[in-house]
Structure 1
Amino acid sequence: MCEEATVSLADVVQEDEQLQEEASAVLAGSDSERCSYPQGYVKRQALYACNTCTPKGGQAAGVCLACSYKCHEGHQLFELYTKRNFRCDCGNGKFADAPCKLFHAKDDVNGLNKYSHNFFGEYCTCRRPYPDPEDQEDDEMIQCVLCEDWLHGRHLGCDVPDHVESWEMICEACMNTHAFLWRYAARLAGKRRENVLRDLTDPPASDPVPGAAVESDAAKETTADETDGATEPSRKRVCPEEAEAKPGCGLEALQNAGAERPGSGAVFWPPGWRSRLCRCDACQASLAAAGLSFLPDESDTVLAYEKKGRSEEGGAPGHDPLMSALDNLSRVQQLEIIHGYNDMKSELKDFLQGFVAEGKVVTSADIRQFFERQQSRKRRRADDRFHCA
C-alpha cells in the first residue's frame, strides 16, 4: 500500500503566505466593494468573465472584482487576471435580465473594451481551458503584453528565460501584426539586464535609438530586485533635455542601421525596454493609430500594478471580524471576550509552533484534542465559580 503524501505545518503556512501575497498583488489594486464602471476605462484592473450569464456562443463580457463578489456569487467565473483599459460590463445589454447590483446607470455596450477567447475560458493558441484537466504536462502560462492572452511556454516558439517574472513577453502573432517591433527586438530583446541598463544610462555615441527616453523611476525600481547580487558601476546619466535634443526618429535609425531579427517566435523583453522606445512625434502618432499608446509607459506593466497592490494591502490595517461584533456589548463583556479570544489565539499558536519546531504533521485529531482541552478547561472554570458562591 502506497504511503499518503504529507506536508509539514511549516509548508502549509509558507504556501498560505505566498497565496496571500499573490492575491494582494492582483486584487489589492482593484476595489472589492464598489463597481469600477464610474471610473470609465480603468488603466488596469482584475477582471472576470461569467460563464453563467454570458456563456460561449453569446457576446463576450467582463466584470470587475466587486461585481464578481456581489453580482455573480455562486456563478461559474473565468479568472482573467488583469487587463488594461477596460470598463465593467456587469448588468449592461449583454446580461439580459441580470442587472448590476452595485451601479445601475450603465450603457448597453462599452465600445472601447477589447475581448478575446479568454472571456470564454479558452487560452493560448491551442484554445484550451486553464487549468486543463486533460493536460498532464507541467508547463507555465505567460501573458502577452499586447493581446494579453495567456500562452503555454511550449507554444511560444522560443526559449523561456530564467526569472521570467521580471521579463515581458510579446507573442509571435502580435510581433507580426506590429512588425516594427522586430527592429527593436534586434537591439533590445534577449539582452541581459545589466546590458540594457548600460544602454539606458550610458548610450554609446552610435546609439541607434536617438528618440528614446532615459530610464524612468518605475524601470529603476523594477530592475533593482534583479541584480543577482551584483553592484552596478556608477555611470553618467543622460538628462531629459539632452535626450530630447537628439534629432531624428530612433525607429528610422534602426532601419537605416540594418537592425533585423528573424520574425518568428515570441519575444521576451528585459526590464527597462519600454523606456528605449522612440518618443518622436511620428512614432507616438503611429503607436496611437495602432492602439499601442500604452507601450512606452513603464507604469502600464503588470509588475508595476502588482507592486501597487502589495503596497496598498500592506498599508491597510488588519481587520478582525470578531472585533467588529463587539460593538453592541458592554465594556465588561467586551473585555472578557477579548481576553478569552486572545488567550485562545496565544495557546493555539504555542500549540502549533511545537509541531513546526519538530517538523511534525498536524492531524485533525490533534486539532480536535486541542479544542477538547479548551472546552474541558472552560467547564472547570465555570464549576469553580459555581461552587465558590
Structure 2
Amino acid sequence: MSEEQTVSLVDVLEEDEELEEEASAVLAGSDSDHCSYPQGYVKRQALYACNTCTPKGGEAAGVCLACSYKCHEGHDLFELYTKRNFRCDCGNRKFTELQCKLFAEKEEVNTLNKYSHNFFGVYCTCSRPYPDPDDQVEDEMIQCVVCEDWLHGRHLGCVVPDCVELQEMICESCMNRNPFLWTYAAHLAVPGADVQVTVVKEVTEVTEVTEVTEVKEVKEVKEETGADESNTNLPNKEEKGDDVIQPSCKRSHEESEPSCRLAELLTIGQRRVQSGAVFWPSGWRSKLCSCTACQERVSAASLSFLLDESDTVLAYENKGKNSEQTQPGHDPLMSALDNLNRVQQLEIIHGYNDMKSELKDFLQRFAAEGKVVTPDDIRQFFEQQQSRKRRRVDAGRFYSP
C-alpha cells in the first residue's frame, strides 16, 4: 500500500508566497477594474487572447486584464503575459458577438497593435501550445524582448546561461533582421559556452586573429578589410549621409565620431559567430549608442524601446510589486460584506477572525516542530471549528443595538 502523499507547512507557505509574488509582479501593474483602452497604446500591460470570441482562423485580438475578468468570464483565454504598446481590442470589430462592458466607445480596429501566433495559443519556432500535452520534455520558455514570442530553451540555438531570469534575450531571427545588434553582441552580450569571439586587428589587411574564447571553430572570419560588404556587422552601402559607418584604424579620433559608440565598437573589430539567440546582462541597454544616427537607425527598425531601460519586463514587474505593497488590493471578504446587513456582517467578521487566529496557531505548531500537515490534521481542525460554532450558536447570536 502506497504511503499517503504529504507536504511540509514550509513547502506550502513558500509556494503560496511565490505564487502571490508572481501574480503581483505581472498583474499589479495593470488595472483589474477599468478597461485600459482610454489610456491608448499602453507602454506595457498584462494581456489575454480569447479563444472563445476570436478562435484560430479569425482575426487576432488581445484584451486587457479588466476585460478578461468582466467581459470574458468563463471563456477560453490564452494568457499572453505582458506586451508593449498595445491597446485593448475588447468589443471592437474583431468581436462580432461581444460588446465591451467597461468601455463601449471604441474604434473598429487598433492599427498600431502588433500580433503574433501567440494570440492563437501557440508559441516558439515550433508553433506549439503551452503547456504542450504532447511534449514530454521539461523545458522552460523564454520571451524574446524584440518580437515578444516565447521560445523553448532547446530551440534557441544556444546554451541557456545561468541566472536567465535576470537577463534579456533576443532570438536569432530578430538579431538577423537587425544586423547592427550583432556588433553590440560581440561586446555586451553574456558570453556563452558555445560562442566564439574573435578580435580582428586591421592595418591595411588582417595580419593576426586572436582567439578570445576557444570552444569551437569560427564559422566565418573575414581576413581582408575589403571583404564582402554583405557582412551583417557592417551597414549596407546604400545608407546615406550620417548613417554610413566606416570603421578604420587609420581614421583620426575626430573623424571616427567618438560620440557614436557603435562606430567605436566597429573600429575595435571584435566579432562573434552570428547564430543562435543572444542573452544580454542587466543594464546592457544603457550601453547602447544614442547619437542622432543611431536613434534614427533604431527608430526605422521600430526598436526605439531598446534605448528605454524602463521598458524591460523586470522594471514592469518591480513596479507591480511596489504598487501592490503600497496600494493593497480589494479584500474579497470586505467586498462580500458590503452586500450583507449589519447582523450578518458582525457574525461573519466574528467567525472569520476566530478561524484566522486559530488556524494560525494551529499551523505554527507544525512549523515550530518541523512536522508535515496531513489531510487528517486539516479535517480535525475544521471539525473543532464546527464544534465551537455550534456552542456559539447555542449561546446566542449577535444583534444590532
Does the pair score TM above 0.5?
Answer: yes
Change in CA separation of 1:96 and 1:381 when aligned onto 2, cut-off 3 Å: closer
Residue deviations 1:313-364 (CA, integer Å, cap 9, x gap): 011236433344556655x876665444322211111112223333444344
Task: Please name the residue that 2:9 is paired with.
Answer: 9
Shift of 1:88: 0.6
Distance 1:45 1:315 in 2: 19
1:300 equivalent among 289, 311, 320:
311
TM superposition shift of 1:12: 1.3
Distance (whole Å) between structure 2 residues aligned to residue 188 and residue 380 of structure 1: 69
> For 1:99 and 1:290, how far apart are their aligned partners in 2?
35
Q: Secondary structure at the match of 1:294?
A: helix
Tell me, in whole angstroms, the C-alpha distance in 2 between the residues paired with 1:73 and 1:183. Answer: 47
1:249 to 260, 268, 285: 260
Partner of 1:145: 145
CA distance 1:351–1:175, change in 2 (3 Å): same
Residue in 1 aligned with 2:175? 175
Indicate the residue corresponding to 2:82 in structure 1: 82
Q: For structure 1, which segment, 162-171 or 1-10, has the greater mean C-alpha deviation from structure 2 after superposition?
A: 1-10
Query: SS state of the match for residue 18, structure 1?
Result: helix
Tell me the distance in 2 between the aligned counterparts of 1:269 and 1:10: 35
User: What are the equivalent positions in structure 2 for 1:121-136 lying under 5 Å apart?
Assistant: 121-136=121-136
Structure 1 unmatched runs, 5+: 193-245
1:290 aligns with 2:301: yes
- What SS does the aligned partner of 2:174 have? helix
RMSD of aligned Cα (Å): 2.2
2: distance between equivalents of 1:382 and 1:91? 50
Question: SS of the residue aligned with 2:323?
Answer: helix
Contact (CA 8 Å) 2:29, 2:316: kept in 1 or not?
yes
What code does the residue aligned with 2:32 have? S
> Residue type of the partner of 1:153?
G
Q: Which range moves more in the overlay, 376-385 or 53-62?
A: 376-385
Q: CA deviation at 1:168?
A: 0.5
Q: 1:375 to 1:4 in 2, by over 3 A?
A: closer
2:7, 2:374 within 8 Å by CA — same for their partners in 1?
Answer: no
Q: Normalization by structure 2: what TM-score?
A: 0.78
Aligned ranges for residues 1-389 of structure 1 at < 5 Å? 1-190=1-190, 247-317=258-328, 319-326=330-337, 329-330=341-342, 338-383=349-394
Are the aligned partners of 1:191 and 1:270 in contact in 2 as well (CA < 8 Å)?
no
Could you say if the C-alpha distance between residues 45 and 325 of structure 1 is closer, same or farther in structure 2, counting changes exceeding 3 Å? closer
Can you list the C-alpha shifts for 1:22-67, whole angstroms capped at 9, x where unaligned? 0000000001111111111100000011111111111111111111
Could you tell me whether the CA contact under 8 Å between 2:141 and 2:151 is conserved in 1?
Answer: yes
The number of equivalent residue pairs is 332
The higher radius of gyration belongs to 2
Change (3 A) 1:357 1:187: same
Judging changes above 3 Å, is the alpha-carbon distance between structure 1 residues 165 and 384 closer, same or farther for their aligned structure 2 residues? closer
Report if aligned partners of 1:34, 1:66 keep a CA contact under 8 Å in 2: yes
Amino acid across the alignment from 1:285: E
